[in-house]
Amino acid sequence: MTDEVLPPRGRDRGNKSLVRRATRADVNRVAAITVRAYVEDGFIDADNDYVEQLRDPAGRLSAAELWVAEIKGVLVGAVAFCPPGSTYRELAAEGEGEFRMLAVDPDSRGQGVASALVQRCLDRCLELGLTDLVLCSMPEMVPAHALYTSMGFVRDPALDWEVHSDVTLIGFRITA
């Protein structure tokens, strides 16, 4: 599990994303990015109960693998990879990996940060001998769905689930 520099995509091809494991020193910035991404994009309201989970990257750091992306030394994105045994897993079956709470600072989008973080999750699946990588997403997260399908993920309705009576998440999967 080494840090890796991944080639950028998007508007500023001079930048490279460094994807690395998060540390305790990163949790405040990860919390801010994650909440900002979900709230400013209009996916949830600032007073939604889920905001408390988004504000808790320390929990993700201890219960999953928290990965972050930096550009020019600035933390700009994060994702929680949930290997077997992680209490953050919601969908993954035995032999599968899962990721959750992918977030990129809105000011840093279009530079390949999200794809670099998702690729790291795929790489972790390969490193751990896992067959598939799964995730769930809000139906409104259309730009994220475009990213997933561009990377080879397919919709898997068998993974869809109702969180609350007013929130249904849709599932995606890729064979690692």
DSSP β-bridge partners for residue 167: 164
Decide if pLDDT at 1 tops 50. no
> Token pair for residue 158?
């068998």
For residues 41-65, average pLDDT: 82
Integer angstrom CA distances of residue 29 from 48, 65, 138: 20, 16, 23
pLDDT averaged over the chain?
A: 88
- Taking the C-alpha atoms of residue 114 and residue 168, their distance in angstroms, rounded to an integer, is 23
CATH of the domain at 64: 3.40.630.30
Taking residues 68-91, report their average pLDDT: 96
**Better pLDDT: 148 or 13:** 148
Q: Is the pTM of this model over 0.85?
A: yes
The boundaries of the domain holding residue 46 are 4-175
Q: How many domains does the chain have?
A: 1
